[in-house]
Amino acid sequence: MPCIRSIQINIQMKKYLLFLCFCGLSLIGKSQNASVEKSTYGAQAGVLGIWANREIKLSNKIALRTEIGMDAGFWGGSFYPKNGYLITPVITLEPRWYYNLDKRIAKSKNISGNSGNFLTLQTSYHPNWFVISNYDNVEVADQISIIPTWGIKRNIGSHFTYETGIGLGFRYIFAKSVGYLSNEGEAAMNLHLRIGYRF
């Protein structure tokens, strides 16, 4: 009788240990580091432009974003016979650090398409290739800007996204290239709100 009882206790103990092992394995599986996607493509539109982009994984939390698009601008006032607009090309390169992916995973939130909060150093180049405008003979001097930016990117369904960001940095304008006496540098702000589609 004591033998049978000890066998029953051993069987129960083995079941209990097996259950704990499965729980431990599932916890280990859930505690793995979250990561940005290996590669993702998308297109975005905002109030002042339209852009196509690609993000490539550099590490679990850092992605390199390359972007080409068209930035827009508006002007007006009593010095002009009509309000003006212009659209000009822009090329952007930015390393993005998605710093809260683990926290989002822990809260069972979606991180597909690199959905998370990020810090970036946005570097943009506006070449003087062409300008689309309602005024004739409008030129935009070549310019480069470097703007540290904080932002968020989130999913709307499986393919649509929205993104917003704010940052303050520096812009250098090669004004001599369009006839001015000297180039100039100035403070620059990045304030954007975009809706996008992820392929």
Structure-token pair, residue 193: 């709100």
- Token pair 């704010």: residue: 166
3-state secondary structure the chain: CHHHHHHHHHHHHHHHHHHHHHHHHHHHHHCCCCCCCCEEEEEEEECCEEEEEEEEECCCCEEEEEEEEEEEEEECCCCCCCCEEEEEEEEEEEEEEECCHHHHHHCCCCCCCCCEEEEEEEEEEECCCCCEECCCCCCCCCEEEEEEEEEEEEEECCCEEEEEEEEEEEEEECHHHHCCCCCEEEEEEEEEEEEEEEC
Per-residue pLDDT band at 55 (split at 50, 70, 90) = very high
Question: Averaged over 49-53, what is the pLDDT?
Answer: 97
The 10s digit of each residue's pLDDT in 116-143 is 999 999 999 999 999 999 998 888 999 9
Is 148:169 a contact under the CB 8 Å cutoff? Answer: yes
More confident residue, 166 or 179: 166
The 10s digit of each residue's pLDDT in 138-165 is 889 999 999 999 999 999 988 999 999 9
Residue 184's nearest CA partner among 175, 192, 193, 197 is 175
Does position 36 have pLDDT exceeding 60, yes or no? Answer: yes
Question: Averaged over 63-81, what is the pLDDT?
Answer: 89
Average pLDDT, the chain: 87
Is 95:66 a contact under the CB 8 Å cutoff? Answer: no
pLDDT at 44: 98
